[in-house]
Structure 1
Amino acid sequence: MAANVAQGDALGGLDTPASTPARQQPTRRPPLDPRLLRHSRTSRVYLVVTAGSGVLGAITVIVIAAMVASILSELIVDPSARSLSQQSWHIGVLAVAVAVRVIATVIHDRYAHRASAKVIAELRCEAVDKISDPNRTSVRELSSRREHLATVLTRALEALEPYLSEFVPALILTAIVTPAVIVAIGIADIDSAVIVIITLPLIPIFMILIGKMTQDSTRLRLDAMSRLSAQLLDLVSGIPTLRALGRARRPAAKVAELGQAHRKTTMRTLRVAFLSGTVLELLATLSVALVAVTIGLRLVKGEMSLYAGVFALILAPEAYLPLRAVGTQFHNSENGLTAADDVFEIIEAPEDHTTRTRSAAIAGTAVTLLNVGVHGRDRWAPHRLNGVAAPGRLTVITGRNGCGKSTTLQAILGLIPLDEGTILLGDIPVAQFDANSLWEQVAWLPQDPVLVPGTVAQNLELLGPLSRPLAEVAAATGFDEVLDELPSGLDTVLGTGGVGMSAGQRQRLALTRTLACAAPLLLLDEPTAHLDDAHEARVLAALRARALAGDTVVVVSHRPALLTGADEIIDAGGAHVG
């Protein structure tokens, strides 16, 4: 790709909290989100394995209860059956059932954690692929949501791990073990089964009530974490500039305020979680106690056998156990599913079905703007913009701040969809161009150019080998002076975002590699913002030379020198001027 990729403003969120997108009123989600099974093959395999282990667990639970009840009832009722040889069969079956249950539980738990990590990785990769697809996520949308997306795809998505490894197995056990245990209890003692059936719905009813109360707080917690992460990311990236301006301590109060908001929302969620867990445990305990009391009274009156009483008493807690586990992990599931909602929103974003298959050469073609309009958050910028940037002429787009000049360049690149109007390259709409075919023929200099970790020479060749002599272009941009100041010249190693160079030096590096690129269409956003008058004149001469050579050169600028030297001026805040 022969275009520089825009980089976010390092100081964008230091004075105001990072915004998160407005959200609709949350609706109740199904406990097992079907989108999870649709977008992750591992989750489908995991669901089958968990269901199989649930069936095996139900069988072993019933066998264990039957063997324990048989042993106790025979030992108490029949004195002749108290020898070890007479109970050896029961003890052997009991030992095998316990061993099978322990082995199945250990294997499932090990697989559950590995599978949950793989599911999270699959969802994260799919979401990143969708975000990086310009047909699904525009540059403007990505820029406005980048902090929130970074939080969701890193820390927040990890909350799916307890949901997958703990909540989903408990949910499946509830669907398999609980009905099987109730049937087994009903065969031995119908009265105990009726009590379990009557009291069992109390747990999910209270879970639903608690869930309605906690869903909003969970969403607020995620939003607070997103704002805090965004503030810290912006602060870290902007520290060198803040220190240079003597404002390094100013954002501390805002970060502290966001940290307090995150702490409060987290403690509110935890408080509800602890209280709800106590309520659910109390309900389950009282229900089991009710079964135990009725069994004890009927045993005293001789209305049921000891075997049936012990069997029902052992199985009664097992009927409530999966639901208790669901209640215990319920808040983990809310955290995970809240993050998953955002991930699925990314993955299932509708694709732009505009045909993008044209692969035409744009050398020697004009860029025509016909009633171009892009609607931002609160207004149009630009709006009904018209103009022609012809090859062989230097075209400058000017206008007041915020009128959509940089947006116009991004629209020419096809990075931002138009809300009205058309942009033509020759006679072909930009929206129909194959993105790779277009970008290979464009050299783009944004206001915040990307510099990757590596040497200065590697960053100069980021768009490909230089097609013009470096000394000639560097002399025009003043980058030759920068090379003299660097400790190792072209071999100087830069950090992330160009750490090791000043803002002006980074801009000159990016301007140099743009002018040294052989692309026939040049789009430059404020290329002389960090240059003095002498170097500005040299850059203007270089741009005019590229235009005279037949290239199409479009520059965004307020600078009088560029406006004076332009062949064509387009006012983004008004009508066509030149």
Structure 2
Amino acid sequence: MFDKRLMAMCPESKKYIVGNIICQWVELMMNAVMIFVIANAVEKLYRKEMTVKEMLISLAILAGVLIVRFVMTKKTTQMSYRASKTVKRVMREQIYKKILKLGNTYREHATTAELVQESVEGVEQLESYFGQYVPQFFYAFIAPITLFVLFGLAGSFKVAGVLLICVPLIPGAIMMVQKIAKKLLSKYWDQYAKLGSTFLENLQGMTTLKTYKADAYKNEQMNAESENFRRITMKVLTMQLNSIIIMDFFAYGGAALGIALAGKTFIDGNLTLQSTVFMILLSADFFLPMRKLGSYFHVAMNGMAASDRIFKFLSEEEPKEKTARLSETGLDIRLSDVSFSYDDEKQ
């Protein structure tokens, strides 16, 4: 779920990832403040204790919170972009340098079409990995702990504890599909590269295929490979859909459990109306960060599958540098009985 090789290759992205996490955490706290103000207003309205001055103060606080949330959301997007743009540049530079080192022998390790796909779409997949998945990976564990403390301060560590226990069910579901996803995405990229290689080869040799009337045969071959690619793509989408259903079940089921427990605690007289409304409105936030991580997980796995192919190419053995030197003196080079011909004219 976390590739240390990619992080080691782009250490400058770490500060933007940390910034992304901080911005999301501040946004969470602003959301908690907003819900606390709303819950307080609900209780005072219920008890008919709300004054005009208090109402105006609450509206002013809500307006300030919304402005801060807007700024944090914008900053989060900027941090995501800055974290991902570096890795794309570095990876493409590494691929290009590797091709230069391999020289003409690079075709022995990968086709031109494969390298184009890995350098373009494969590297683009890493944008989501660095910009979205990695920050969300850490934030998804920080957010429930933060909410656990807030719920406890609000009046019920029992409700907070039950919600916190339910949170790990989502990463458990993610780990269940990880092995299946890794195999499927590996096959997906293999078939994708094969289809791209065949298309490029046929396109470059179109004149030859027409000359020898082999275009119909190649057309059937490409249709078969396209069908194989369609099937593996549908398998990947099916796997993603099934895992999303499982994660939604745990996420929204856990939120419903939290709401029910908060309601029961209120009925038993162990919670104030303000605390109950606060917990009900904020219960879903226990699970949404982890649920969001699950959504990014599939994109990240696609990027990691592409990175595996890139790292495999980057680790290919390079031809040894020629170090032998011919002596500048004592060389006796002779050409005898040498000729060439062109259009039957011998020279």
Aligned equivalents of 1:65, 1:201: Cα separation in 2: 25
Equivalent residue for 1:274?
A: 241
The one of 21, 43, 51 aligned to 1:51: 21
| 1:126 and 2:94 are equivalent in the alignment | yes
> What TM-score, normalized to structure 2?
0.89
Change (3 A) 1:246 1:73: same
| 1:254 and 2:221 are equivalent in the alignment | yes
Aligned equivalents of 1:242, 1:115: Cα separation in 2: 46
The one of 334, 338, 343 aligned to 1:392: 334
The one of 323, 330, 338 aligned to 2:290: 323
Change (3 A) 1:355 1:271: closer
Equivalent residue for 1:502?
A: none
| 1:235 and 2:202 are equivalent in the alignment | yes
SS at match of 2:215: coil
Quick one: which amino acid aligns to residue 269 of structure 2? G
Aligned pairs (5 A) from 1:98-247 = 98-113=66-81, 115-134=83-102, 139-140=104-105, 142-146=107-111, 147-188=113-154, 189-247=156-214
Aligned equivalents of 1:212, 1:35: Cα separation in 2: 19
| Structure 1 range deviating more: 119-128 or 319-328 | 119-128
Quick one: which amino acid aligns to residue 271 of structure 1? T
Q: What is the aligned residue count?
A: 345
Tell whether the 8 Å contact from 2:109 to 2:316 is kept in structure 1 after alignment: no
Tell whether the 8 Å contact from 1:58 to 1:180 is kept in structure 2 after alignment: no
Aligned equivalents of 2:287, 2:142: Cα separation in 1: 12
Aligned equivalents of 1:394, 1:192: Cα separation in 2: 96
Aligned equivalents of 2:317, 2:32: Cα separation in 1: 49
RMSD: 2.7
Tell whether the 8 Å contact from 1:58 to 1:177 is kept in structure 2 after alignment: yes
Aligned equivalents of 2:43, 2:279: Cα separation in 1: 13
Tell whether the 8 Å contact from 2:129 to 2:303 is kept in structure 1 after alignment: yes
Equivalent residue for 1:546?
A: none
Aligned pairs (5 A) from 1:483-562 = 534-535=344-345, 537-538=346-347
- Return the offset for 1:164: 2.8
Aligned equivalents of 1:177, 1:213: Cα separation in 2: 28
Aligned equivalents of 1:243, 1:316: Cα separation in 2: 66
> What TM-score, normalized to structure 1?
0.55
Tell whether the 8 Å contact from 1:365 to 1:391 is kept in structure 2 after alignment: no
Change (3 A) 1:150 1:365: farther
Aligned pairs (5 A) from 1:318-467 = 318-348=285-315, 360=325, 391-393=333-335
Tell whether the 8 Å contact from 2:164 to 2:286 is kept in structure 1 after alignment: no
Equivalent residue for 1:38?
A: 8
Tell whether the 8 Å contact from 1:131 to 1:142 is kept in structure 2 after alignment: no
SS at match of 1:251: helix
Aligned equivalents of 1:362, 1:336: Cα separation in 2: 51
Aligned pairs (5 A) from 1:8-23 = none
Deviations 1:450-472 (A, max 9, x none): xxxxxxxxxxxxxxxxxxxxxxx
Between structures 1 and 2, the one with greater helix share:
2
Change (3 A) 1:394 1:94: farther
- Return the offset for 1:355: 6.8
Change (3 A) 1:351 1:250: closer
Equivalent residue for 2:40?
A: 70
Tell whether the 8 Å contact from 1:40 to 1:123 is kept in structure 2 after alignment: no
The one of 50, 54, 60 aligned to 1:92: 60
- Return the offset for 1:145: 1.4
Percent identity between the two aligned chains: 21
Aligned equivalents of 1:242, 1:298: Cα separation in 2: 77
Aligned equivalents of 2:120, 2:176: Cα separation in 1: 30
Tell whether the 8 Å contact from 1:235 to 1:251 is kept in structure 2 after alignment: yes
Tell whether the 8 Å contact from 2:17 to 2:83 is kept in structure 1 after alignment: no
SS at match of 2:281: helix
Change (3 A) 1:71 1:356: farther
- Return the offset for 1:308: 1.8
Equivalent residue for 1:524?
A: none
- Return the offset for 1:176: 2.5
- Return the offset for 1:192: 1.1
- Return the offset for 1:213: 1.6
| Structure 1 range deviating more: 193-202 or 294-303 | 294-303
Between structures 1 and 2, the one with greater strand share:
1
Change (3 A) 1:254 1:365: farther
Aligned equivalents of 1:362, 1:236: Cα separation in 2: 47
SS at match of 2:101: coil
Equivalent residue for 1:61?
A: 31
Aligned equivalents of 2:168, 2:230: Cα separation in 1: 34
- Return the offset for 1:323: 0.5
Tell whether the 8 Å contact from 1:42 to 1:119 is kept in structure 2 after alignment: no
Quick one: which amino acid aligns to residue 257 of structure 1? A
- Return the offset for 1:140: 4.1
Tell whether the 8 Å contact from 2:109 to 2:313 is kept in structure 1 after alignment: no
Tell whether the 8 Å contact from 1:57 to 1:177 is kept in structure 2 after alignment: no
Tell whether the 8 Å contact from 1:156 to 1:222 is kept in structure 2 after alignment: no
Change (3 A) 1:187 1:356: farther
Quick one: which amino acid aligns to residue 71 of structure 1? A
Tell whether the 8 Å contact from 2:181 to 2:239 is kept in structure 1 after alignment: yes
- Return the offset for 1:133: 1.2
Aligned equivalents of 2:37, 2:257: Cα separation in 1: 24
- Return the offset for 1:336: 0.6
Unaligned segments of structure 2, at least 5 residues: none
Change (3 A) 1:225 1:64: same
Aligned equivalents of 1:209, 1:264: Cα separation in 2: 22
Tell whether the 8 Å contact from 1:173 to 1:322 is kept in structure 2 after alignment: yes
Aligned equivalents of 1:167, 1:331: Cα separation in 2: 9
- Return the offset for 1:234: 0.6
Deviations 1:268-324 (A, max 9, x none): 000111121111112111111011111112212222111221222222211111101
Equivalent residue for 1:28?
A: none
Tell whether the 8 Å contact from 1:131 to 1:346 is kept in structure 2 after alignment: no
Q: Rg larger in 1 or in 2?
A: 1
